């Protein structure tokens, strides 16, 4: 968050009504790059119908309300963990395939 925004919001005494992915991540104590996994798992719903590559906004009230639910937090934690396990396994598989010796023609 920019310094000006931070000062303005501290004077206001409340969070903005819409959160960006980065801000929603701060509220949920996760990274902005975890938010797409939560959207895919339908654990977070952006406002409106944003295009796949557009900025997504989330209702602050919804994020704060769902964050009070322990079972939802368990689902969020498991979803993020599984997402990164899958990504890391895929990355390792691609790295291993790069180093496999190729078959030389004529041998």
Report pLDDT digits (tens) over 4-58. Answer: 766 766 766 778 899 999 989 988 989 989 999 999 999 999 999 999 899 999 9
| pTM of the predicted protein model | 0.73
Please report how many Cα atoms fall inside a 13 Å half-sphere around the Cα of residue 98, on the Cβ side. Answer: 6
Using CA atoms, how far apart are residues 41 and 34, in angstroms rounded to an integer? 11
Residue 7 confidence (pLDDT): 73
How is domain 3-99 classified at the CATH fold level?
Multidrug-efflux Transporter Regulator; Chain: A; Domain 2 (1.10.1660)
Using CA atoms, how far apart are residues 48 and 83, in angstroms rounded to an integer? 25
Mean pLDDT for the chain overall: 85
């Amino acid at each position: 968050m920019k310094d000006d925004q931070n000062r303005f919001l501290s004077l206001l005494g409340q969070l903005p009504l819409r959160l960006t992915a980065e801000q929603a991540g701060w509220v949920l104590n996760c990274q902005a790059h975890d938010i797409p996994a939560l959207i895919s798992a339908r654990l977070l719903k952006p406002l409106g119908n944003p295009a796949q590559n557009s900025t997504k906004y989330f209702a602050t009230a919804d994020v704060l309300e769902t964050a009070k639910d322990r079972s939802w937090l368990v689902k969020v934690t498991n979803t993020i963990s599984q997402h990164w396990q899958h990504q890391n396994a895929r990355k390792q598989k691609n790295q291993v395939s790069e180093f496999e010796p190729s078959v030389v023609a004529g041998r």
